[in-house]
Amino acid sequence: MKLVTVKMPEAYIEGLDELVRNGRYSSRSEAIRIAIRDLLRRELWLTAEDRYVLGYHRSRGRVLT
């Protein structure tokens, strides 16, 4: 893996720390890797058909209910 330095708002860091404290993730790095993986999966790796089946509306960035 490569090291990437990222600046982010304090509120994001506090949220990451809370997820780690609650045992949801083992570290900030793990939480960030998973968040990026999910973003890439949604934005790049899913086909248009996959997005349609999942009800994902890209222009609004949310799943339609």
Which tops the pLDDT comparison, 15 or 58? 15
Report the distance separating Cα 10 and Cα 51, nearest Å: 32
Q: Is the pTM of this model over 0.75?
A: no
Task: Tell me the domain boundaries of the chain.
Answer: 10-63
DSSP the chain: ---------HHHHHHHHHHHHTTS-SSHHHHHHHHHHHHHIIIIIS-HHHHHHHTEETTTTEE--
Residue 59 has pLDDT above 60, yes or no: no
